[in-house]
Every structure is written in structure tokens, then in C-alpha cells.
Amino acid sequence: MAKLDSKVPKGPIAEKWTNYKAHQNLVNPANKRKVDVIVVGTGLVGGAAAASLGELGFNVKVFCIQDSPRRAHSIAAQGGINAAKNYPNDGDSVYRLFYDTVKGGDYRAREANVYRLAEVSNNIIDQCVAQGVPFAREYGGLLDNRSFGGALVSRTFYARGQTGQQLLLGAYSALSKEIKKGSVELFTRREVLDIVKIDGKARGIIVRNLVTGELERHGAHAVLLGTGGYGNVFFLSTNAMTSNGGAAWRAYKRGAYFANPSFVQIHPTCIPVHGAYQSKLTLMSESLRNDGRIWVPKKKEDAQKIQKGELKPTEIAEEDRDYYLERRYPAFGNLVPRDVASRAAKERCDAGHGVGNTGLAVYLDFEDAIKRLGRNVIEARYGNLFQMYEKIVDENPYGTPMMIYPAIHYTMGGTWVDYELQSTIPGLFVGGEANFSDHGANRLGASALMQGLSDGYFVLPYTMQNYLADQITVPHFKTDGTEFEQTEKEVQARIDKLFAVKGDETVDSFHRRLGHIMWDNVGMARNKEGLEKAIKEIQELRKEFWQRVKVPGEKTGMNVELEKALRVADFLEQGELMALDALTRNESSGGHFRLEYQTEEGEALRDDKNFTHVSAWEYMGDDEPAKLHKEPLVYENIEVKQRNYKTA
């Protein structure tokens, strides 16, 4: 258990990070160039960290799966980024942002990490503005804010509905500056297939060059993963097509504990599923809940008529509409946290009040907002989102309410890391969505961007330096050693095994089948029977995959089917761990909702006595069950309560 030392610094919570920085080890400027760092991923974490480490003088190698670092999936975040600036003078503070984030995460996040996140949030906004990020502004020239779920203040900074894009392009510009300077070397179209350990420490990676198909070895004194989440285990999600948890999963299999794998965020406002051929789901930003009102027909007969196309939503009288979020949660209304909003939508649809031809959709209506503010204002706020909706659904949301339904969006779980964001493998750091640390069992809107940039710009450049300080005498790593050779051989064996199957079913088909198992049993509502069934079915599907998968083409050169097969092979393992974690956590918390554990009103019922801990799983071998370790969560600065969004 010694391995699970969270290394939270001593002292009052507001002083921990300052104290840490004051006493940490540093590397002198001349020595920094003797030290190599590998950064995997060029999203907010990877891009910001690689740029910042390069600025400090380290030798950085950065890797991305796309053709350019500017395309990482952070780019798709729409609504905004939180910070405790309190510019609107509405009562915000670092403590309140910290409090809201811990409460929003249903008291399953580590206090000290969240406090630090809230503390550096303001630096992020300053940094981005200085980079030329064109945030929305008021006529007076100052920055504008809007509200997001789970908060009673307006603390969200935004750049239209493209905040992630602008923040990512800011990090990309800083990265480009360092690439030009020569402090950072860029490798595109590369995918990490394994982590190389030497004497127990992370010392490199094996990547596949997606264009040539060659395996490459890269060594360094430390490795940082900013590789995002594993939402694509579900097949359909709002993640990009290449988003995969592969690097983190490989780290798990090399000894890094994996924390809270069952904590998955299901986002309430996505465009509903429309066909079996569908490849991904599209998010409609949470910011829309600032002005949109969510409802379903009060009468089941109306819902049925709508499903059959006999009735239009605009024909339903005001008194026949059920604004169920406003009804159930008067204080927060349409701006309840995501897990609460998603479950409420599912509850209404399961009760037969859903709309759309499948009955699996609810309305997000802007009629009142357009009447109150005028179409121009709504267009200025959400124009690009409305346009996107219209292109996909072929309906004009200015005239008829949008249809939305929950979809897999984000994974709160991830590689277990300590306060320094270091995993249980020394020298392997993990930031952003890829780690587990800041969002507990549910992430609040506009907090992913905050965490990504916090980790990348302001945390990892410090904590990694603390680790690297005693590495300056370690020479640059040659990649022809035994460990690199052995790890590469194992990767090659995995690839050979996939080609050797020569089966008859496509990779996508297996992925889709896994997605169904996951969505039905490890999705929004879980129970013991379903989870046990899922584990059995995933094991069977995995067996079938290795007997029947068809991977055409060659080992050399570009082979997209091989790429997908490697990812799905990992998903088929990870899905099982997610189900196992959900089965072991006999409570409901945040996004993890066990039907057996709910209040009379259908709210998540935590079991603080037995489950106020992080579940960190250790890999014990392919044929052995994973071993559970627990990191107790201690709340010294927040009173742990049942989450309440009904009253302020």
C-alpha cells in the first residue's frame, strides 16, 4: 500500500501549493538541456506542458496522433473555461470554485488537487489573453462571463462556442514557437503502443509511425501522458475517432494503477442517435442551458403522437409541457450538473415521455429566450451551435426546439496520480482527462479546459522538475538497450497476433458490439446483475475477437484497420475493468449510478462510510483479476453532504 502515497503537502489547504513550490527541487538552467522529456499528446495538457518545458530549457519530444498538433480533441470543447476571477462581482472566490468542484464531483475527488486547480485557474485566463486568445468581451472592453452547470456564479470565460479551439490554438502557438526555437521536436501521426521501463522507471515509449507502419523507440528521463480519456470504449461517444485510452492502458499493464475506471460522464445535451451506421455523437454545448429550457410533454399521449410524427412540439400548450429540471431542482433549474440532468432525461424517456421518432430525446427550447432577448442575441451567443445542429438534423432550432439526449462524453477515471501528477511508475506523469485526480465522480462543465491548462502550464512544469532534479547525471538514453528491444518485440508480437487471426468479422463490428454491452449495462444506470452480465459478455466477446477479427492489408505502410484493431483490443480489456469497478462500488456517486442505491426521489445515494475512497486497480496479469487498492479521501475543508441542487 506504500505505493499509494498521495504526497499531499502538509499545511493549510490554501498554502499547500505555495509551500510545495517553495521547497521543491529545481534544475539549474545549464543542466536542463541535459535532460530529455517525452510528451505524448498535443491537447491542452500536452501542448501547454511541452511548450512550457521547452521554454524552461528541457529537451522535449512531443508526439501526436493527428497530422498536426493543432487537431487534438481539446479543440472540440465548446462552452468555456472556469476561473475564480470574480470579474462579475457576483461572489466568486478560489474557495467557492474549489467547493463547487468537489461538490459537483460528489465528494470523490482529492481536496488538495482541486484546491490547487481553483488556485491557478486565474493564471490560465491571464496567460491565454496574453497569447492573443480572443475571448468574448463586453462593450467596455473587459472580459465577458457566462454560467455553467453546478454553480451559482458566472465564472465561465468563453470564445463563442469554440473555446476549446481557441485555447488549444493558444497552446499550439506556444508550442510552435518552441518548435521553431528547437527546444521541442515534433512527431506527428504517431501512436504510442507501449511504455518502456528501465529499473522500474519510465524511460521511453514505443510508437507506431502511422504513415510508414514502422515501430520507433524514443527514450527520455521522464514521460508525460496527455492522451485524453477512454470514452470510445462505448463506440458511440462525443470523442474524436482516434481518441483512445491506449497509452494509459499500456501504462496500466506496465504497473501504473488505474483509478475509478467506472466514473464516466454522460453529457445531457447531445444530438440523439439516429441510425445504426452512426460513427459518433455530437455534443451541443452545456452553455445552451443558460438560455434553453428543457422539457417533455406532460401527457404520454402527446409524446406518442410526437414520436409518430402526428404532432409538433410547437403545438403543445404551455400547461402541457413538463419543464422537469425546473420542477425538480428549483434552485439550479436547467443548470444542474451533468449527471443529474442526464439521469433526469433518461427517467422521463423511460417513463414514456420522450420525443423524436425513437422516444429517446427531450426538447431544449429557446422560444422564451428568443422572445425575451431577440433572435440576434441568441444568434450571437450560440450561432455556430445552431448552425451545426441544423446541418446534422435538418431542422431549424430558431423555429422548433432542439432535440437532445445524453451521450458518453468524458471519463473522470484515469491513471492514478499523486499530488505531483506522477503515476505509480516513477517518471511517468499523467495530466488532464487521462488522469483521475480533479473531478471526482462527476466533472462540472468548463472544468476540463481548466484542468488541462492548469496541469500543462502551471503544475507539471513544476512537479516534473522536482522529479528531474536528481536525473541530471543520468546520460541521455540510448534506445538499443535490452528493455527497448524487449518492449518493441512485445508490441510486434501483438501486431503479428492480430494479423494471424485472419477472421471474418470487421474491427468496427466488434467495437459496435462492445459499445452495446457497455451502454446497456455500464452506462447511465447500473446494477449488480447487469454488471455481472457485462463482465461475462465482454470476456466472451474478447475471446471471439481474437478468434474472428479480420485485419486486412500489410504490417508495413499505412494500415488504418490495424490501428483500430489495436485500440479495440485494448477497449475490450478496459471495458471489463470499468464494469468490475462499477460492480465493486456499492453506492451511487456522480456519474456512477447504481439502481440499488438511490433515494426515494431517485437521487444518487452515496455510502460515505464505505466508499469515501479512490479505487485504484493494479494489473496482475491477463488471466488474473485486477487487484484493488484504496486511497482514502479526507475532507478537512469541506463538509461532506448529500448534494442538493433543489435549494441554494
The residue written with cell numbers 508495413 in the block is 556
Choosing from 338, 348, 381, 443, the catalytic residue is 338
Decide: is 383 part of the binding site for other proteins (CB under 8 A). no
Question: Min. distance of Cβ 357 from other proteins in angstroms?
Answer: 11
**C-beta separation of 444 from 82 below 8 A:** yes
Contact positions with other proteins (CB under 8 A) in 194-233? 211
Pick between residue 236 and residue 522 the one whose CB is nearest to other proteins: 236
Amino acid code (one letter) for 237: S
Decide: is 558 part of the binding site for other proteins (CB under 8 A). yes
Largest CA distance in the chain: 75
Decide: is 600 part of the binding site for other proteins (CB under 8 A). no
**C-beta separation of 572 from 538 below 8 A:** yes
Contact positions with other proteins (CB under 8 A) in 253-282? 274-275, 277-280, 282
**Which of 11, 12, 132, 625 is in the footprint of other proteins by CB under 8 A?**
132
Question: Min. distance of Cβ 133 from other proteins in angstroms?
Answer: 8
**C-beta separation of 37 from 49 below 8 A:** no
520-524-527-530 Cα dihedral, nearest 10 degrees: 10
C-alpha triplet 269, 227, 17: angle, nearest 5°: 95
**Cβ neighbours for 509, distance < 8 A, ≥ 6 positions apart:** none
Query: What single-letter DSSP state applies at residue 221?
Result: S
Coil, helix or strand at residue 90: coil
Question: Min. distance of Cβ 392 from other proteins in angstroms?
Answer: 7
Beta-strand relationship, 258-259 and 402-411: unpaired
Decide: is 561 part of the binding site for other proteins (CB under 8 A). yes
User: Rounded to whole angstroms, how far apart are CA atoms 166 and 172?
Assistant: 10
Decide: is 159 part of the binding site for other proteins (CB under 8 A). yes
Closest to 587 measured CA to CA, from 263, 206, 215: 263
* C-alpha cell, 122: 486565474
Contact positions with other proteins (CB under 8 A) in 457-486? 457-458, 461
Question: Min. distance of Cβ 137 from other proteins in angstroms?
Answer: 4
Cβ neighbours of 491 (radius 10 Å)? 18
Decide: is 172 part of the binding site for other proteins (CB under 8 A). yes
Q: Which stretch binds other proteins (CB under 8 A): 214-222, 260-268, 313-321, 454-462?
A: 454-462
H-type helices in 454-559, by residue range?
A: 460-468, 482-501, 507-521, 528-548
Decide: is 174 part of the binding site for other proteins (CB under 8 A). yes
Q: Which stretch binds other proteins (CB under 8 A): 223-231, 320-328, 550-558, 588-596?
A: 550-558
Decide: is 235 part of the binding site for other proteins (CB under 8 A). no
Number of residues engaging other proteins in binding (CB under 8 A): 84
Return the HEC string of 559-620.
CHHHHHHHHHHHHHHHHHHHHHHHHHCCCCECCECECCCECCCCCECCCHHHHCEEEEEECC
Q: Which stretch binds other proteins (CB under 8 A): 127-135, 291-299, 433-441, 606-614?
A: 127-135
Decide: is 449 part of the binding site for other proteins (CB under 8 A). no
Question: Min. distance of Cβ 260 from other proteins in angstroms?
Answer: 26
* C-alpha cell, 568: 479495440
| E strands in 151-292 | 156-157, 184-187, 190-198, 201-209, 215-219, 222-225, 258-259, 264-270
Alpha carbon of residue 60 to chain centroid: 25
Pick between residue 219 and residue 445 the one whose CB is nearest to other proteins: 445
Bridge partners of residue 215, in order along the sequence: 208
**Which of 24, 31, 93, 131 is in the footprint of other proteins by CB under 8 A?**
131
Bridge partners of residue 362, in order along the sequence: 404
Decide: is 134 part of the binding site for other proteins (CB under 8 A). yes
**Which of 21, 31, 96, 143 is in the footprint of other proteins by CB under 8 A?**
143
Pick between residue 68 and residue 586 the one whose CB is nearest to other proteins: 68
**Which of 31, 93, 173, 466 is in the footprint of other proteins by CB under 8 A?**
173
Pick between residue 76 and residue 311 the one whose CB is nearest to other proteins: 76
* C-alpha cell, 258: 488505474
Q: Which stretch binds other proteins (CB under 8 A): 138-146, 472-480, 602-610, 614-622?
A: 138-146
Site mask for other proteins (CB under 8 A), range 24-63, x = bound: ------------------------x--xx--x--------
Contact positions with other proteins (CB under 8 A) in 333-372? none
Contact positions with other proteins (CB under 8 A) in 495-524? 506-509
Pick between residue 389 and residue 593 the one whose CB is nearest to other proteins: 389
**Which of 23, 180, 478, 609 is in the footprint of other proteins by CB under 8 A?**
180
338 catalytic? Reply is: yes
Decide: is 396 part of the binding site for other proteins (CB under 8 A). no
Active site residues: 338
